[in-house]
Amino acid sequence: MTDDRPDRTETRRTLRDLVLVAGGKMLSMGALFACAVIAARVGGGEEATEFGLYSTAIATILILDAIIGSPLDYSAVRFGALHHDEPARVDRFQAATFRLKLIIAAIFLAACAAAGPWIARRLFEGESRTTLLYLTLASTFALLLVRGTSANLQIRSRFIVYSLFDTGIAAVRLALLAAAAILGAHTAEPLVGVFGASALAMFVIFLGVRQPYLRAKWPDRHDARAILRFITATAGVIVLGTITGKADIPILSALTSAHIAGIYAAAAQVAMLATMLAGYACIVFQPRLIPMARQGKLTRLIGANILAGLAIGVLAAPLVIWALPPAMVAVFGQTYADSVPILRILLIGTWLDILFMPVLMTFAMQTRPVACLAGEVVITAAFFAVMPIVSRVNEIDAAITLAWIMTAVRVAKMVLYSAVTTVAMRGPLPEPCVAETEAPAEVT
């Protein structure tokens, strides 16, 4: 009779880590959601313009972070999963990805700052909001810094500390938010500043926690070349996935107005809860998926993921049907009553995120990044091909149309990552890179 106690132990450990990560992330998300609600409330009158500007800024920060930083952070996490028994080597690899990320960010953000008034006219409806642009750029750099700490904790599977880290960000964000409210903040600028300041504060605080990658030497030539080889396809997947997944608010603002973007953003803030739940699961499962596939356990995990997603959908359906309209008005205000039909559409798509992101997408990106990139290119091309439809209808209908487009994108991605995972499970899995036998010439 087979002893299944190791399987049960691994399952309990995975569930524990998921709870720890989700707990900290939920507090952090709650603080960010509180910022959004306050931004919606302080706009005043029947206009959602201020909230639209705030949401556009936050979306821009997240997009820039994903484009500049996520490919490098992801490569470090994957390298750590393949070489978990060589911590010093992993530290050198992450040191290189972290420093490269900051160099690229400094150059790009400085160029954006130099063109500040021009960008502000197009992104934030006028040169008078140039300060908002500068705060957006500064907050992006702060987020890139703090992502390095998050990636390191994930690589080390230090999920208790990871949870404390996210809880700390939430606490600092809430404290700064309270201070801004007391001082009478009523525009997007101070709230965007809170976002960046909370991230920077936690990065500085966690400098006191042992993070060897910050002082590690550069990797050997073999591993340095591996960074470029791996980033090529993965960077494209992450960049294109971010455009089709998070660029909806800035696009709508550019095609219509900040007010309509604000109405849409209120719905997106609630809908993203499902996506963030899926993201928490990705963080926990990512280092485990390839080992589980080698052990023949991945199929069972995929089934458990789908069953959990279906259960969440069944339980949430009554709330979406009956509780949503009064809840949206109570939280965001009467101005945002038009957000309800938009939210119902978006929730269909973000529920699909729970089904495919934690296992199917994460495993596919680790094992077949080129195939994932090819699929994302097709999805992105279709995304922009249908975008003119949004500009041809009136403003609220434009928001509803965009919501359907975003849901269709998620359907396409579920099909893509299901197919890629099916193929990957039938073929060879990635093997750890073989280190050079000669002593590397490392530079401090």
How far is residue 376 CA from its own chain's centroid? Answer: 17
Torsion over CA: 357, 360, 366, 372 (sign)? negative
Give the separation between CA 412 and CA 110, rounded to whole angstroms.
36
pTM score: 0.83
- Supply the mean pLDDT for the chain: 85
Torsion over CA: 86, 92, 93, 94 (sign)? positive
Give the separation between CA 249 and CA 402, rounded to whole angstroms.
9
What is the tens place of the pLDDT at every residue in 131-178?
999 999 999 999 999 999 999 988 887 877 887 888 888 888 888 887
Two tokens at 138?
């500064």
**Angle 421-246-377 (CA atoms, 0-180°, nearest 5)?**
50
Least confident span in 121-125, 261-265, 368-372: 121-125
Instruction: Give the other-Cβ count within 10 Å of 388's Cβ.
Output: 9
Looking at residue 338, its pLDDT comes to 92
State the average pLDDT over residues 360-378.
93
Cβ–Cβ under 8 Å, residues 145 and 198: no
In percent, the amount of the chain with pLDDT more than 90 equals 45
What is the tens place of the pLDDT at every residue in 183-194?
888 888 998 999
